Amino acid sequence: MSGKNTRTRRIVVLGALSTIAEAVARRYAAEGAEMVLAARNAERLGQLKDDLTARGSARALAWPVDLAALDDVPAELARMAEALGGEVDAVLLFYGTLGDQKLAEKDSAELRRIMAVNFASAAEWCVAAADVLERQDHGVLLAVSSVAGDRGRQSNYLYGAAKAGLAVLVEGLGHRLAAGGGRAVVIKLGFVDTAMTAHIEKGGPLWAKPDAIAQQLVRIIDKPRRPVIYLPWFWRPIMAVIRNIPSSIFHRTKL
Amino acid sequence: MGSFRNRQFSPWGRIGRAEHCIARPRFRDEVPRTLADCGDHDVLPVGLGRSYGDTVLNSGKYLLDMTGLDRIIAFDRDAGVLRAEAGLSLDAALGVIVPAGWYFATTPGTRFVTLGGAVANDVHGKNHHSAGSIGCSVRRIGLLRSDGGEVELDRQSRGDLFRATIGGLGLTGIITWVELDLVRIPSADLIVEQIPFDNVAGFFELAAASQSHEHTVAWLDCANRGRALGRGIFQRADWSGQGALVAHATGQKVTLGFDLPSVALNGLTMRAFNALYWRVQKAKPTLARRHYAQFFYPLDAIGQWNHLYGRRGFYQYQCVIPPEAAESAVTELLLQITAAGAGSFLAVLKTFGRRGSPGLLSFPREGATLALDFPNRGAVTLRLLACLDAIVLEAGGRLYPAKDGRIPAHVFRASFAQGLETFVDQIDPAFNSDFWRRVST
């Protein structure tokens, strides 16, 4: 976190109850940042708010809302910005759902949910955020995507497709903002040991700790050099290899 | 039951690795559900697993990993009162309370323990003679019982359950949150004085003369026989009036990612290490200003230092001997250890004061406490420890359950006879551990 930035930072956290979001919010709280914490569960948001306040946040606002079920996203974001005093330094989008692929193949409601949460609603938030950053001529939009979006696989192509869509969208917003002071970054996360992956057998060098990821994210938000970033970095070469495996071989795997 | 996974869990001493069914809730509202999912089966809450032995094992049964509940609930910066979820580590808490000019009333030798674990083991530190154990600074505890839901405990309301939970090894229910009184610190540094002593008698003279210092501890050379036996370095320290209120840097510089071959730590390297340590420490300036992380937590700089002892692990042995028998019993213990050619890399000796803890099974009592590491050499090591047990019991002392993971049932019962009956009445019927199964039969 840059010590040069003397003004208190103002941050909007979408999906604040995610493990990684909370780890990021704690780092900002330690430097006194003001935050809007948006997620569905009001009781848990209250606990987060108390914790972040104790850790040094000048203002932590619990913002209970279903981010994937809003009629007017730009208006909601405007209210958040207003609550923070008008300007935002960063909009961070963490929310998402793995969904149940097997169920979604039979049940279109689950399919729609996976797409709405991971892509459709996220797209609205990202575009709304880009508008704000463009107007301010300042600030960073960071959205969390996944390496699952780099190649379609039989086990999670719906989640992967939604996250791939989000990545392209944010990459495009990065292009759109490039001429001005705002920035947009999409993070392609590899395996992280979080609540979302709690059911998966872990261990081995590929699994990253949420706090290590949070540390990198804070650095990226400080200096967003590229619009697409793999975390941890080694997923870039890994995915380059995976994308280039001929389908004659790839289709024989159970991935 | 989706949140449970089968996983190996081993204590810090790495003896007794076992498969467990482990859940790691992240929010307070998940805990009652998770506990209910265990049904009538045996459950044990665990924190960061820094206990050395089987007090953190529940082989083949349920463990509730509490490290996901690590939020501060309230921190009163004026009054110095911290209320936080049980899984918050001292490491994380210090990052918040130190810059505000507060510290825990006492701290163990590692900051990688949770608040819940610290209370459940009623940990002590180098200032026991002035501050008592951590239990002395506990104001209130939130406890979730399988047979009565969440209860709030303090000295007055549900006093027996409060006293049973402090030092209760996680057997009285799940500690969900803890409220502690903190103490003011003028800076994050301590003025540390180092004084060499030549024998056990020299230690006790220094200890008696150092009561006015807040923190006292001694490192002991217990690998070298004859005249070198019981020589050591006495440290006494007080918070410095000068220096900034800067918390330690989080994270570790070095992590031991592998096991050292078991032969690496043998009698020869042990004697060499002790002799070298003696010479290096003796040559150090007598007075120095040190940051609390250097003074309280030197081993925390090396991640997974427990892997130094190789795959077979090690026993940590800690006893306390009442004042009247302290000098003779400590000498006798050292003689037995060197006679067995065992020795220990880090032997720590300190005196405990009179201040009692509310905890029924609290380990500290007035006297001298000796802590030693022994690499696991199987039957040979166990024979030596049994021999040490006899000296401790004879002297009216007791052993620390969080440490060696093999305290025989009769030694445990003799040590904790006084509060044991009241404690047993307060145990949660759904809770158990390998340790408790071993000592309660």
pLDDT at A3: 43
Q: Write the DSSP assignment of B210-228 as a string of letters.
A: TTTSSEEEEEE--SS-GGG
Q: What residue ranges of chain A have pLDDT lower than 50?
A: 1-4
Residue B440 identity (one-letter amino acid): S
As a whole number of angstroms, the distance between CA B408 and CA B319 comes to 14
Cβ contact A198–B24 (<8 Å):
yes
| H-run or E-run covering B263 | none
Q: What are phi and psi of A24, to 5 degrees?
A: -65, -45
pLDDT at B308: 82
Point out the residue among B27, B28, B72 whose CB comes nearest to the CB of A55: B72
Q: Beta partners for A141? A: A91, A184
Query: How much is the CA Rg of chain B, to the nearest whole Å?
Result: 21
Q: Where are the alpha helices (DSSP H) in A6-107?
A: 19-30, 42-54, 73-83, 101-106
pLDDT of residue B254: 63
A residues 14-73 lying closer than 8 A (beta carbon) to B: 19, 30, 41, 43-44, 47-48, 50-51, 54-56
- pLDDT of B1 reads 41
Omega prior to A232 cis, within 30 of 0: yes
Show the tokens assigned to B259.
């096991």
Q: What is the reported pTM? A: 0.93
Q: So what's the pLDDT on residue A204?
A: 67
Question: Does any CB of chain A come closer than 8 Å to the CB of residue B96?
Answer: yes
Give the C-alpha separation, B410 to B73, whole Å. Answer: 41
For β-strands B215-220 and B347-352, DSSP reports them as: antiparallel
Q: What is the pLDDT of residue B257?
A: 61
| Closest-CA distance of chain B to residue A42, Å | 12
Residue B264 has what pLDDT?
65
ipTM surpasses cut 0.85: yes
- Please count the CA atoms within 13 angstroms of the CA of B353 that sit on its side-chain side: 22
Q: Which residues of B touch A41 (CB under 8 A)?
A: 27
Does B26 touch chain A if contact means CB atoms closer than 8 Å?
yes
> Are B73 and A30 within 8 A, CB to CB?
no
Residue contact B26–A56, C-beta within 8 A: no
Q: Which element (helix H / strand E) includes B104?
A: strand B102-104
pLDDT means over runs of 10, chain B (441 residues): 80 90 95 91 94 95 96 98 98 96 97 97 97 98 95 94 97 98 98 94 95 95 78 96 91 63 69 80 85 93 83 93 96 90 83 96 97 92 96 96 91 92 96 95 79
How far is it, in rounded angstroms, from Cα A206 to Cα A208? 6
Kind and range of the H or E run holding A10: strand A10-14
For A167-225, write each residue's pLDDT tens digit: 999 999 999 999 999 999 999 999 888 777 766 666 667 778 899 999 999 999 999 99
Q: What is the DSSP string of A156-223?
A: THHHHHHHHHHHHHHHHHHHHHTTSS-EEEEEEE--B-SGGGTTS---STTPBPHHHHHHHHHHHHHS
Hey, are the CB atoms on A195 and B26 less than 8 Å from each other? yes
Give residue B222's pLDDT.
Answer: 79
Nearest CA of chain A to the CA of B343: how many Å? 36
Phi/psi zone of residue B80: left (φ > 0), alpha (ψ -120 to 50 degrees), beta? left
- Verify cis geometry, omega within 30 degrees of 0, for the bond prior to A205: no
